């Protein structure tokens, strides 16, 4: 009986973490598919990153300041923690990123890959004209 309580506690924690990651992944996927495409210029980036995974994709979680450029919208600067596809992008100041921005919330930004193109592995199609 004493071993059941810790086991149930572990199962509950595992389910909560899995549901939270699933919700974050679905928000990212939604923005990847329907967000406004643009470019983000890295103005500053933390030197350290936390490695994380969503499904089978690996990311570096980094604190960055980005200048966002989306067609039809004045450029703006945003700070936050972003998931950067691991192994595809060197997140250093001066680098360009391809991004997707939520149409109704311009502070919601997803990094798709390096600026200038989106690879076929992301199923996002060719780069958007500027």
Show the DSSP H helices in 1-130 as ranges: 4-34
What is the pLDDT, as a whole number, of residue 92?
87
DSSP label at residue 122: G
* Look-up of token digits 């996927």: 29
Token reading at 117 = 């193109």
DSSP label at residue 129: P
* Average pLDDT for the chain: 77
Domain boundaries, the chain: 4-122
pLDDT tens for 51-81 read 888 778 888 899 999 999 998 889 999 999 9
The C-alpha atoms of residue 83 and residue 29 are separated, in whole angstroms, by 13
Task: Please give the residue that has the higher pLDDT: either 110 or 27.
Answer: 110
pLDDT tens for 32-57 read 777 888 999 999 999 888 888 877 88
Any residues with CB less than 8 A from the CB of 18 and at least 6 apart, and which? none
């Amino acid at each position: 009986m004493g071993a059941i309580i810790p086991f149930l506690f572990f199962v509950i924690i595992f389910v909560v973490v899995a549901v939270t990651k699933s919700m974050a992944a679905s928000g990212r996927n939604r923005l990847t598919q329907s967000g406004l495409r643009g470019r983000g210029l890295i103005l500053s980036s933390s030197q350290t990153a936390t490695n994380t995974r969503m499904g089978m994709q690996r990311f570096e979680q980094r604190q960055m300041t980005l200048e966002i450029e989306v067609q039809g919208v004045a450029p703006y600067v945003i700070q936050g923690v972003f998931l950067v596809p691991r192994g595809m992008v060197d997140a250093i100041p001066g680098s360009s990123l391809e991004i997707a921005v939520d149409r109704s919330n311009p502070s919601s930004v997803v990094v798709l890959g390096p600026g200038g193109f989106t690879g076929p592995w992301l199923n996002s199609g060719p780069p958007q004209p500027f």
